[in-house]
Amino acid sequence: MVEQKLNTLSDTLKAVSDPTRRSILTTLVQQGSTRVTELAAMYDMSLNSVSKHIKVLERANLVSRKTLGRVHLIEANLAPVKEVDDWFNELRSIWEIRLEALDNLVTKENSND
């Protein structure tokens, strides 16, 4: 279970490491479901290149695809982003505990002087 969560976290972070993929995801969050061809028109690259970026986002479960006839609609899924946020919160929590322990130690040392 923990390993799967770490793999999901890694997949998410790898997928959003590319500025074009972050931009696509931002566009989808702002505009809602968007056709692949409309997304491709927003970038100075081929439809094939944009499709490859979308496939990376799909593998990371950051977007989903709905096919209606010949139209492919892409929609954002932010559930994996919550896992990244949870991980950062865990890191913050660890540091807060450490800083509180250090503060207690310093306060104790100062009161002994």
pLDDT at 95 exceeding the cut of 70: no
90 confidence band (pLDDT: 50, 70, 90): confident
CATH code, 75: 1.10.10.10
CB atoms within 10 A of CB 3: 7
Q: What is the DSSP letter of 18?
A: S
Q: What is the mean pLDDT of residues 33-37?
A: 94
pTM of the model: 0.72
Phi first, then psi, for residue 85 (nearest 5°) are -60, -45
pLDDT at 70 exceeding the cut of 80: yes
Domain that holds residue 99: 2-112
**The pLDDT of residue 84:** 77
Candidates 12, 3, 28, 4; CA nearest to 82 is 12
Q: How many domains does the chain have?
A: 1
